[in-house]
C-alpha cells in the first residue's frame, strides 16, 4: 500500500478531517428551538449557577475531553508546531469516541512559553470534564502537567507519560508471571529518559521493581548522580558511580525498556542480557532491535514492540479512552496513581481471559491465549472497556477523588455493555458471561 497517498486521500475525502459536531437533541420545531436556546436555555443555566455539579447533568461537559498540544513533540515528527499537529489531535479524538464514546474538542495552542501555556489550559476548565495533554516536549511536559493537576479540579492526563506507563506496566505484570521472574530481583535498563521513560520507570516501581534496580540512559549515557540536580525528572533515577554506555549497563539485565530510536540495541548487547530476558523495544515505527532479529539471537526472550504486525503490541489506545471513561463517570477531580495502577492490573487480568473468536478474527488469528506472544489484550478487543473503566472508577471512589460515586455497579456494567454490544456476537457474550467483569445478568437474553 502507498501509505502517503492513502492517508492523504483518507483525510481529505468528503468533509476534510476526521471529526464533526453533531447535536444530541432534536431542534426542528419552534418549541424545540426555544428549549435548545432562548428562552428555555436559561433554566439549566440557573440550575448550574445554584450547583456547579449540575453542569454534568444539563451539558456535555461530563463527557467532554480536551486534547491539547503546542506541537513541540509530535509522534516521531518532532517540533512541527500546533497547526501541523492537528491531524494527530483529531485522530486522538476519533479514538476517544470509537473506543469509549467520549466527545473531544482538539485544541492546538500556539504557545511555547510554559507559564502562558499553563494559564491558557487552566482557563478552559469550565468547558471540559477532562484534559488530555499530548505531544508536548520534555522536560516542560512534566512541569506543565504538575501545575495543571495542582490548579484544576478535573482530570489532567499527559498520555505520552502515563498512557505509555499504564500499558507497559500491564505488559510487565504479565511478562513477570509468564517468565517466573521475581520483580524485586530484576535489573531494568531504560533507553530513553523522556516523558514516557520517566513515567514508565515510576510505574515499574509501583508494580514491584526496586528503585535502585532501575538504570536510565539517554543520549549522554547512564543518568548519574552528578546530573540529578540539573535534570530533576530523569535525575530521580540517577545511579551512583561513573558514566557508562548501554553496552556496559545492559550486561546481566533482566528487562530492557526502549523508548528511543531504531537499531540502538545490538545483537551483542541483547546476547549479554540475563536468561529469559524481557525486551520491550517500543521505538516507532522501527524498534531498537528487529523482532525476528532479536528472537534469532535470543529465542528465550519475551518481546514486545509498538508495532501491530508483531505480537504484544504496546498501544496507548488500550489506556487513555478507558481511563477517562472511568474518571468521567464518577466525576473524578484527577487521575491519581491508584487509578493508573488499577488500569494496568485490569489489562493484565483481561489478558488471562479466553479471547472471543470475533477478536481473533479481527487479527487473522485462529486463537489467542495468554503466553509469550499474548501478554496484553488487543486494542480491538471491546472487553477492554468493561475491564478498565470500572477499575478506574472504583479506584477513584476508593481514594476519595470521585464527586459522583457510582451507587449501582451492576447498572454501570449494563450501560458500558450497551456501548460495545454491537461489536460482539451473542455467542461471544455467552462465552464471556462467567468473566467477573461481565456478569451473567449483562448478557442479552
DSSP string computed for 51-68: -GGGHHHHSGGGGEEEEE
Closest CA to 204 of 216, 217, 222, 221: 216
What is the CATH code of the structural domain delimited by 162-305?
3.40.50.720
What is the CATH code of the structural domain delimited by 18-159?
3.40.50.10380
Q: Which residues is 67 bridged to in the sheet?
A: 106, 132
Question: What is the full per-residue pLDDT of the chain (445 aa) written as tens digits?
Answer: 788 999 999 999 999 999 999 999 999 999 999 999 999 999 999 999 999 999 999 999 999 999 999 999 998 789 999 999 999 999 999 999 999 999 999 999 999 999 999 999 999 999 999 999 999 998 999 999 999 999 999 999 999 999 999 999 999 999 999 999 999 999 999 999 999 999 999 999 999 999 999 999 999 999 999 988 778 899 999 999 899 999 999 999 999 999 999 999 999 999 999 999 999 999 988 999 999 999 999 999 999 999 999 999 999 999 999 999 999 999 999 999 999 999 999 999 999 999 988 899 989 999 999 999 999 999 999 999 999 999 999 999 999 999 999 999 989 988 998 888 766 666 666 665 555 555 443 333 3
Helix, strand, coil percent content, the chain, rounded in steps of 5: 50, 10, 40
User: What does the domain layout of the chain look like in residue ranges?
Assistant: 18-159, 162-305, 316-442
Which secondary structure element, helix H or strand E, spans residue 259, and what is its range?
A: none
Domain 162-305 and domain 316-442, same fold? Reply is yes
Which of these is catalytic: 10, 37, 185, 418?
37
Q: For residues 148 and 362, give the distance between their C-alpha atoms in angstroms, rounded to a whole number.
A: 39
Topology classification of domain 316-442: Rossmann fold (3.40.50)
Q: For 137, phi and psi rounded to 5 degrees?
A: -70, 155
Q: Could you confirm whether 394 is annotated as catalytic?
A: no
DSSP string computed for 237-256: TPBSSS---HHHHTTT-SEE
Which of these is catalytic: 18, 86, 92, 251?
92
pTM: 0.93
Q: For residues 297 and 269, give the distance between their C-alpha atoms in angstroms, rounded to a whole number.
A: 10
Please check whether residue 24 is in contact with residue 62, taking contact to mean a CB–CB distance below 8 angstroms.
Answer: no
Please check whether residue 301 is in contact with residue 294, taking contact to mean a CB–CB distance below 8 angstroms.
Answer: yes
Q: Could you confirm whether 236 is annotated as catalytic?
A: no
**Strand 214-218 relative to strand 221-222: parallel, antiparallel, unpaired?**
antiparallel
Closest CA to 444 of 352, 436, 420, 390: 420
Closest CA to 127 of 151, 104, 145: 104
CA distances from 6 to 10, 12, 13, 16, 358 (A): 6, 10, 11, 14, 27
- Which residue pairs, CB below 8 angstroms and at least 24 apart, start in 37-42? none
63-80: buried (b, 16+ CB within 10 Å) or exposed (e) per residue?
bbbbbbbbbbbbeeeeee
Q: For residues 57 and 44, give the distance between their C-alpha atoms in angstroms, rounded to a whole number.
A: 9
Amino acid at each position: 500500500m502507498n501509505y502517503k497517498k492513502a492517508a492523504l486521500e483518507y483525510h481529505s475525502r468528503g468533509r476534510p478531517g476526521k471529526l464533526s459536531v453533531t447535536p444530541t437533541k432534536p431542534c426542528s420545531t419552534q418549541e424545540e428551538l426555544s428549549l435548545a436556546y432562548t428562552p428555555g436555555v436559561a433554566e439549566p443555566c440557573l440550575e448550574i449557577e445554584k450547583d456547579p455539579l449540575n453542569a454534568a447533568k444539563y451539558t456535555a461537559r461530563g463527557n467532554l475531553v480536551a486534547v491539547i498540544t503546542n506541537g513541540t513533540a509530535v509522534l516521531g515528527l518532532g517540533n512541527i508546531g500546533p497547526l501541523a499537529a492537528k491531524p494527530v489531535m483529531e485522530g486522538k479524538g476519533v479514538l476517544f469516541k470509537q473506543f469509549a464514546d467520549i466527545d473531544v474538542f482538539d485544541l492546538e495552542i500556539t504557545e511555547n512559553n510554559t507559564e502562558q501555556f499553563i494559564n491558557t489550559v487552566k482557563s478552559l476548565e469550565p468547558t471540559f470534564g477532562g484534559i488530555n495533554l499530548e505531544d508536548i516536549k520534555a522536560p516542560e511536559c512534566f512541569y506543565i502537567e504538575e501545575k495543571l493537576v495542582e490548579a484544576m479540579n478535573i482530570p489532567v492526563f499527559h498520555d505520552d507519560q502515563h498512557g505509555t506507563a499504564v500499558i507497559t506496566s500491564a505488559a510487565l505484570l504479565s511478562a513477570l508471571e509468564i517468565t517466573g521472574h521475581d520483580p524485586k530481583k530484576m535489573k531494568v535498563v531504560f533507553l530513553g529518559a523522556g516523558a514516557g521513560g520517566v513515567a514508565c520507570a515510576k510505574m515499574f516501581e509501583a508494580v514491584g521493581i526496586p528503585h535502585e534496580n532501575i538504570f536510565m540512559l539517554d543520549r549522554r549515557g547512564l543518568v548519574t548522580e552528578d546530573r540529578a540536580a540539573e535534570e530533576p525528572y530523569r535525575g530521580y533515577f540517577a545511579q551512583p558511580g561513573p558514566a557508562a554506555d548501554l553496552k556496559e549497563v545492559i550486561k546481566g539485565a533482566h528487562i530492557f525498556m526502549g523508548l528511543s530510536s531504531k537499531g540502538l540495541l545490538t545483537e551483542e548487547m541483547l546476547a549479554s542480557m540475563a536468561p529469559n530476558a524481557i525486551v520491550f523495544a517500543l521505538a516507532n515505527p522501527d524498534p531498537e532491535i528487529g523482532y525476528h532479529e532479536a528472537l534469532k539471537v535470543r529465542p528465550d526472550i519475551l518481546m514486545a514492540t509498538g508495532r501491530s504486525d508483531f505480537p504484544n503490541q504496546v498501544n496507548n489506545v488500550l489506556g487513555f479512552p478507558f481511563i477517562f471513561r472511568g474518571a468521567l463517570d464518577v466525576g473524578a477531580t484527577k487521575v491519581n496513581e491508584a487509578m493508573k495502577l488499577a488500569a494496568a492490573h485490569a489489562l493484565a487480568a483481561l489478558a488471562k481471559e479466553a479471547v472471543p473468536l470475533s477478536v481473533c478474527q479481527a487479527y487473522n488469528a485462529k486463537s489467542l491465549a495468554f503466553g509469550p506472544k499474548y501478554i496484553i489484550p488487543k486494542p480491538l478487543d471491546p472487553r477492554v472497556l468493561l475491564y478498565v473503566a470500572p477499575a478506574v472508577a472504583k479506584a477513584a471512589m476508593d481514594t476519595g477523588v470521585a464527586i459522583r460515586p457510582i451507587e449501582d455497579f451492576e447498572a454501570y456494567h449494563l450501560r458500558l455493555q450497551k456501548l460495545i454490544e454491537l461489536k460482539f456476537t451473542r455467542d461471544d457474550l455467552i462465552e464471556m458471561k462467567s468473566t467477573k467483569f461481565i456478569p451473567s445478568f449483562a448478557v442479552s437474553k
